[in-house]
């Protein structure tokens, strides 16, 4: 029998969503659900499963072919091998996730996961339909080339996906400090789903937040700046087809209008929001603008002392 | 696709339907009272922090708003219990289709094809040309 962590966890996903809705209804936890948004998220999850089945054969065949040319023989029964695959798969996930945000071609496949203006457990299931076609699975092939059996890689990918389910919630505030320091948590991942300039393109981690701390992409959640969820330009539709394909359509339009191969490459592989004349805004541009406005406000506050502060009473 | 997958898919579809009904029953969406000018300005400030608003017009049903900011029209409209915003040239907004009290502004985007705002009149009497 095939061991698939995601399939095994599906009943838990359903029960957890029921629990989150119930706690929200009873006012015992923060949980915001909008029915159309929930339907879209869950439909995207089902569609992603179908897309996975359709492309799954190609991925399995490629993984097995690469494994036949492996550099080492790594036993599935060794504890050290599981520790190694845990770390290497999680690092691979970080790389996949980062490129999925920072390069438009892969963003087009990933953006649907960020299109909800809500952050609840149903959002976790708003998964890609086009990730397989975008070829992000290629990033995991080196693990099989090293010598990790494809089944082992698939199981660890599944474990990572299951782990990332529970962090899509506002019902949990902060975990213990040691946990927040090492692992990806609801707080860290809320930041990842936020569209505030401060939070854009941060916290790419799968299970271990240490990768973000290591590579300079970590941003803590601040109580004084609540997360606003969604994407920079939110969608006005709940239609799953538009959710799945809108960025691909936008890329197609841009490619048709591009005037040179360089422009076409920029539209395809530049950061989301890139344009030849700089008239659109990338995450970096938005962050720079935000930082400049923060600096201006700080300077104004420094120049304008609070009432009474000019004449301190001894 | 094998039979097992189809059964799993059918069960998942039933679960989805059940969860959506549950989320509707729970009534825990964000409250969306009709927009007033202060709220509309606050939302515009979030969406377009660098834009100065010259004039703001609120849709009659309070489900959207339109603002003039120099050569741009800033458009805000409700989607579910959230809002969507886009900027478009003022001239395009000025000449957008207005019929039966509904102003339709096309954006030509798959993500947000058009905004439909219920306006008393368009262009409004106080709108600059």
Write out pLDDT tens, residues B33-91: 999 999 999 999 999 999 999 999 999 999 999 999 999 999 999 999 999 999 999 99
The separation between the first and the last C-alpha atoms of chain A, rounded to the nearest angstrom, is 80
Choose the weakest-confidence range: A49-53, A68-72, B5-9, B52-56: B5-9
Return the exposure string of B11-45: e unless at least 16 CB atoms fall within 10 Å of the residue's CB, then b: ebeebbeebbebbbebebbeeeeebeeeebeebbe
Q: Which of B28, B113, B115 sits opposite A33 (nearest CB)?
A: B28
Q: Taking a C-beta distance cutoff of 8 angstroms, is the pair A160, A173 a contact?
A: no
Q: Which of A25, A250, A293 sits opposite B28 (nearest CB)?
A: A25
Instruction: Report the pLDDT value the prediction gives residue A309, as an integer from 0 to 100.
Output: 47
| pLDDT per residue as tens digits for the range A80-99 | 999 999 999 999 999 999 99
**How high does pLDDT run on average in chain A?**
95
ipTM metric: 0.93
| Cis check: omega of the bond before A224, within 30 degrees of 0 | no
Higher-confidence residue of A223 and B127: namely A223
pTM of the prediction? 0.94
Q: Which two tokens stand for residue A147?
A: 């010598």
Mutate one of A35, A40, A256 to test the B interface: name it (highest B CB count within 10 A).
A35
- Quickly list DSSP for A88-150: HHHHHHHHHHHHHHHSHHHHHHHGGGG--S--SHHHHT---SSHHHHTGGGGGHHHHHHT--H
Instruction: Report the pLDDT value the prediction gives residue A310, as an integer from 0 to 100.
Output: 47
Please identify which residue in the block is written with the tokens 């492996």.
A70
Instruction: Report the pLDDT value the prediction gives residue A198, as an integer from 0 to 100.
Output: 96
Q: Is the pLDDT of residue A225 over 60?
A: yes
Instruction: Report the pLDDT value the prediction gives residue B96, as an integer from 0 to 100.
Output: 97
3-state secondary structure A210-245: HHHHHHCCCCCCCCCCCCCECCCCCCCCCCHHHHHH
At residue B1 the predicted structure's pLDDT band, cuts being 50, 70 and 90, is low
Q: Is the pLDDT of residue A312 over 60?
A: no
Instruction: Report the pLDDT value the prediction gives residue B4, as an integer from 0 to 100.
Output: 85
Percent of chain A topping pLDDT 70: 96
- Distance separating alpha carbons of residues A7 and A41, to the nearest angstrom: 18
List, in order, residues 6 or more apart from B7 with CB less than 8 Å away.
Answer: none
Q: Is the pLDDT of residue A307 over 80?
A: no
Asked if B32 reaches chain A (Cβ–Cβ under 8 Å), the answer is no
At residue A306 the predicted structure's pLDDT band, cuts being 50, 70 and 90, is low
Query: CB–CB of A39 and B20 under 8 A?
Result: yes
Return the exposure string of B48-61: e unless at least 16 CB atoms fall within 10 Å of the residue's CB, then b: beebebeebbbbee
Asked if B31 reaches chain A (Cβ–Cβ under 8 Å), the answer is no
Which residues lie across from B117 on neighbouring strands? Answer: B103
Please identify which residue in the block is written with the tokens 């989150």.
A20
Q: Is the pLDDT of residue B129 over 60?
A: no
Instruction: Report the pLDDT value the prediction gives residue B8, as an integer from 0 to 100.
Output: 86
Label residue A297 exposed, middle or buried (CB < 10 Å: 0-12, 13-18, 19+): exposed
- Measured in angstroms, the CA of A308 and the nearest CA of chain B are apart by 30
Q: Which two tokens stand for residue A63?
A: 């993984």
Give mean pLDDT, residues A211-236. 98
Chain B residues close to A238, C-beta within 8 Å? 79-80
Q: Is the pLDDT of residue A4 over 90?
A: no
Chain B residues close to A37, C-beta within 8 Å? 80-81
Nearest chain A residue to B9, by CA: A46
- Pairing relationship of beta strands B114-118 and B55-58 according to DSSP bridges: unpaired
Instruction: Report the pLDDT value the prediction gives residue B33, as an integer from 0 to 100.
Output: 96
Chain A residues close to B8, C-beta within 8 Å? 7
Asked if B34 reaches chain A (Cβ–Cβ under 8 Å), the answer is no
Q: Which two tokens stand for residue B11?
A: 């069960």
List, in order, residues 6 or more apart from A61 with CB less than 8 Å away.
Answer: none
Instruction: Report the pLDDT value the prediction gives residue B126, as an integer from 0 to 100.
Output: 66
Chain A residues close to B77, C-beta within 8 Å? 236
């Amino acid at each position: 029998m095939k061991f698939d962590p995601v399939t095994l966890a599906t009943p838990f996903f359903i029960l957890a969503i029921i629990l989150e809705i119930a706690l929200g209804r009873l006012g015992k936890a923060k949980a915001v659900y909008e029915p159309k948004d929930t339907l879209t998220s869950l439909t995207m999850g089902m569609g992603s499963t179908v897309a996975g089945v359709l492309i799954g054969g190609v991925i399995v065949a490629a993984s097995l072919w690469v494994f036949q040319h492996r550099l080492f023989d790594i036993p599935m029964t060794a504890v050290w091998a599981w520790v190694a695959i845990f770390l290497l798969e999680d690092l691979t996930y970080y790389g996949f996730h980062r490129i999925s945000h920072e390069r438009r071609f892969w963003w087009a496949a990933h953006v649907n996961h960020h299109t909800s203006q809500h952050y609840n457990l149903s959002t976790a299931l708003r998964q890609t339909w086009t990730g397989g076609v975008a070829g992000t699975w290629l990033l995991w092939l080196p693990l099989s080339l090293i010598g990790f059996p494809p089944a082992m890689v698939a199981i660890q990918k599944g474990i990572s996906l299951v782990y990332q389910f529970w962090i899509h919630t506002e019902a949990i505030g902060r975990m213990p400090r040691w946990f927040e320091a090492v692992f990806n948590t609801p707080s860290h991942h809320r930041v990842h789903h936020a569209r505030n300039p401060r939070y854009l393109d941060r916290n790419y981690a799968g299970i271990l937040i240490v990768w973000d701390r290591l590579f300079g992409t970590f941003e803590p959640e601040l109580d004084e700046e609540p997360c606003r969820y969604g994407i920079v330009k939110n969608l006005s539709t709940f239609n799953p087809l538009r959710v799945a394909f809108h960025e691909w359509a936008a890329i197609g339009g841009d490619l048709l209008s591009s005037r040179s191969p360089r422009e076409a490459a920029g539209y395809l592989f530049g950061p989301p929001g890139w344009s030849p004349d700089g008239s659109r805004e990338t995450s970096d541009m938005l962050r720079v603008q935000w930082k400049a406005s923060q600096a201006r406000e700080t300077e104004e506050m420094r120049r304008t002392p609070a009432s009474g502060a000019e004449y301190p009473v001894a | 696709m094998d039979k097992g997958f189809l059964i799993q898919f059918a069960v998942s579809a039933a679960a989805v339907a059940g969860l959506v009904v549950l989320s509707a029953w729970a009534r825990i969406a964000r409250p969306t009272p009709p927009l007033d000018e202060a709220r509309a300005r606050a939302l515009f400030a979030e969406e377009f922090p660098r834009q100065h608003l010259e004039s703001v017009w609120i849709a009659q049903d309070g489900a959207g708003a339109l603002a003039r900011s120099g050569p741009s029209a800033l458009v805000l409209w409700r989607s579910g219990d959230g809002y969507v915003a886009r900027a478009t040239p003022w001239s395009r907004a000025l000449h957008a289709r207005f019929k039966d009290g509904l102003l339709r502004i096309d954006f030509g985007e798959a993500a947000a094809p058009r905004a439909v705002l219920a306006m008393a009149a368009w262009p409004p009497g106080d709108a600059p040309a």
